[in-house]
């Protein structure tokens, strides 16, 4: 559910700031996603609704801290908060147990208590790490997500999946731990590199490809503006994406059923990421973009999906700045047999059988619990070569 907060308060139509709130309806763990401009400056006021403590515990990656931490700290101070800040290196390599332990030790030594609030200030890497740290700190503290990448604003900051990676694969050590609040300041996206923007747009396209053909058409019409980072189109994409994610999470918080659809493209995508050792050669969103194109083409191969729908999905992803042909994808090399082995570690797999998210069309994804591995391998051989 979305509300225009200030308008709702004043009863006077649209709020001047255009701030929107999307509610994630999870009973006693329900929370708001606040989306708008100038929100870092209001972070203290927003977080003040959660706690009377005088200090928050912020995890930030060094790049984000260099660009935006001073603004956040001023916003926190305006709400009466000091900040203990733990800086981590940017990149997927930060999602590991050693970094988690260091962050927890720093916060505990600085006096963090269970009633304190942690703040994740960065992209999905910082959000996933901080959420897990909060879930573990003194058996569970609350945390606020302040996502600074498009990907984190449309996906990873919402829904309470927290994790670090293990040697065997991605996100294998984690908890479901919902944030108490998500503050998505659209202004911070102005410093995001174009490549990261396109990576975020992959997760935006995902909501359309899963089950929203109106949004699909809107994305096709606005692809150029989104790729350029045009603020109005971007804000709309963040809102629609958060509404879609909030609906799915409210219906299936711990992924017993339909939440698995949010992993469209992720089983192929995680294998592509793992082929790069989760290194910077291939971004998570780039892997998801290529993975969604693969899921659509594999669905065509199985006779489940019209070829025109896979082509439509591919064209949209390309228009959003994403590569969909595996031989053209950055990083690699991508070897079919290795990708299949990586796919075997996916969390959706049950009793050694591979679960895939496939599609009956663009906007019609479904869960395929028992994928035929020989078919997958044949497809991967064809896809990696062509
Ligand atoms: P990221 O956190 O690595 O951030 C990408 C890069 O952008 C980093 O180098 C960062 O320093 C930089 N950056 C961040 N904000 C910036 C800004 N405003 N201006 C300039 N640079 C900025 O990557 P990501 O794409 O945000 O997140 C990917 C991670 O999220 C992966 O680990 C993935 O597994 C996870 N994820 C989790 C969920 C979930 O539900 N928990 C969902 C999707 C993805
Ligand atoms: N990004 C997948 C999920 O949150 O379920």
Task: Pick the residue whose CA is nearest to atom 4 on ligand 2.
Answer: 159
Q: 259 catalytic, yes or no?
A: yes
Q: 161 catalytic, yes or no?
A: yes
Q: 263 catalytic, yes or no?
A: yes
Ligand 1 centroid to Cα of residue 345, in Å, is 22
> Which of 20, 170, 239, 245 is the catalytic position?
245
Q: Is 124 in the pocket of ligand 1 (CB under 6 A)?
A: yes
Does position 351 have pLDDT exceeding 80, yes or no?
no
Task: Pick the residue whose CA is nearest to atom 17 on ligand 1.
Answer: 192
Q: 139 catalytic, yes or no?
A: yes
Q: What pTM does this model have?
A: 0.94
Q: Is 59 in the pocket of ligand 1 (CB under 6 A)?
A: no
Ligand 1 centroid to Cα of residue 341, in Å, is 26
Q: Specify the pLDDT at position 346.
A: 65
> Which of 73, 92, 203, 286 is the catalytic position?
203
Radius of gyration of the chain (CA): 20
153-162 confidence digits (pLDDT tens): 999 999 999 9
204-247 confidence digits (pLDDT tens): 999 999 999 999 999 999 999 999 999 999 999 999 999 999 99
CA atoms of 292 and 300, how far apart (whole Å): 12
């Amino acid at each position: 559910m979305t509300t225009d907060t200030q308008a709702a308060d004043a009863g006077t139509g649209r709020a001047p700031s255009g701030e929107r709130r999307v509610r994630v309806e999870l009973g006693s763990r329900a929370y708001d996603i606040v989306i708008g401009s100038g929100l870092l400056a209001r972070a203290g006021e927003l977080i003040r609704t959660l706690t009377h403590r005088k200090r928050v515990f912020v995890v930030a990656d060094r790049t984000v801290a260099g660009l935006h931490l001073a603004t956040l700290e001023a916003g926190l101070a305006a709400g009466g908060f000091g900040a203990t800040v733990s800086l981590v290196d940017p990149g997927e390599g930060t999602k590991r147990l050693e970094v988690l332990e260091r962050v927890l030790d720093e916060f505990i030594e600085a006096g963090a208590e269970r009633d304190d609030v942690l703040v994740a200030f960065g992209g999905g890497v910082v959000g996933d790490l901080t959420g897990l740290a909060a879930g573990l700190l003194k058996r569970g503290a609350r945390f606020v997500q302040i996502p600074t990448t498009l990907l984190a604003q449309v996906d990873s900051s919402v829904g309470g999946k927290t994790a670090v990676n293990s040697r065997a694969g991605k996100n294998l050590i984690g908890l479901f731990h919902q944030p108490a609040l998500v503050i998505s300041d659209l202004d911070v996206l102005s410093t995001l590199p174009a490549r990261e923007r396109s990576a975020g747009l992959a997760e935006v396209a995902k909501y359309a490809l899963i089950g929203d053909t109106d949004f699909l058409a809107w994305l096709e019409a606005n692809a150029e503006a989104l790729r350029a980072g045009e603020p109005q189109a971007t804000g709309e994409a963040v809102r629609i994406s958060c509404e879609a994610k909030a609906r799915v999470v409210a219906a299936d918080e711990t992924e017993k059923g339909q939440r698995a659809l949010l992993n469209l493209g992720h089983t192929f995508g995680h294998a592509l990421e793992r082929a790069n050792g989760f290194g910077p050669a291939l971004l998570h969103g780039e892997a998801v973009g290529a993975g969604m194109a693969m899921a659509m083409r594999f669905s065509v191969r199985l006779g489940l999906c019209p070829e025109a729908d896979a082509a439509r999905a591919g064209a949209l992803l390309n228009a959003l700045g994403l590569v969909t042909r595996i031989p053209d994808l950055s990083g690699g090399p991508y070897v079919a047999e290795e990708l299949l082995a990586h796919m075997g570690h996916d969390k959706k797999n049950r009793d050694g059988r591979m679960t895939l998210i496939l599609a009956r069309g663009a906007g019609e994804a479904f869960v395929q619990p028992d994928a035929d591995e020989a078919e997958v391998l044949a497809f991967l051989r064809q896809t990696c070569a062509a």
